[in-house]
Structure 1
């Protein structure tokens, strides 16, 4: 069964919009786990416009499933991850001014940098994953970095699927096949939703984990977080 990790960045965005502590991100993480989520994901950015670095520390003792921290491995981020020691760190090459993640790593160009960073995390017992586009060359490059897993960037799939183009799954299937062959674990995330997750899961062999935030929180506004989380779990069986 593919694990569902709930990205709670949007809960922090809502909290920050009023300057208080409602909704409380730690309480939401606890509730999401109680509702069945098998992991919690956060993606702190340098400007702390949603998840704050302090949130990452506050969540450490409350996430009893899998704790996944995403981000660009700038020194401040690396130091925080090494101190918290989450279950997994997902490396994302997002620019500081990016609204959201919009590209995977060039694992060939940044091979040496990724080897160094990944080696440091793994030596501290932290599972590593790197965000990659659905490109076979990038999968090969990812394998050479020593990462444990890749996270397939699924925006292109989600957009094309919404237009009725089911063939958009093909590059992801090919990348999954190669990742499985070379021993890389497979995660996925970005724009996955209740509308497209079942088809993706059915066609990606060896899918270990999906990280879903924006869609899940948006859907929860209509149906409630507990109902939506259980719907995702059912589609991921």
Structure 2
């Protein structure tokens, strides 16, 4: 089993601590600043903390602005969000609820789900589940779903990436449905320039081929924009029939 598909693994990655002061920050940046952060004074630490918050805020604003535009052109229904993470990229979900969409969020991390429920429980459904298992059991309901949204997610699927993308392709067989992915393409993040903790940024053909096979034909893959998070380049795509 891919260690990334473990709730305990993600609990530890998401929990802020002296050993993990910047959850989910890029490995390159952590290696660069960690020694200075541990040995620095309050002013030195504050500089790195502000940088971390700024990068997360910029990334979140990028996702929010793009999705608010998309929501205006979507059919009413439910949006399934795959992964909570630090919740920096899902600020748009509250507006989606106010616009009449249903929002269901699925994540295997107990830590992420419990934290999110404290703030978002009255607005949307939050369920702790491993995604592939949820699909197989039918726990992840797609009956009234009009879209999937997954940010910083598919690069952590490891050997399960083909099955994951194949399922999303099958989902798109129903007219009007869409899939939104925010991912680091290997083409934009070569291994000699970007270090990763456990993720494996895919080449385009690695995620597009099983997607198209699941759908059974060609799909429209439209790039909504790109954003640089620290030294990593992320691509936001909308996929539809």
TM-score over 0.5 (shorter chain): no
Greater C-alpha Rg: 2
**TM-score, normalized by length of structure 1?**
0.37
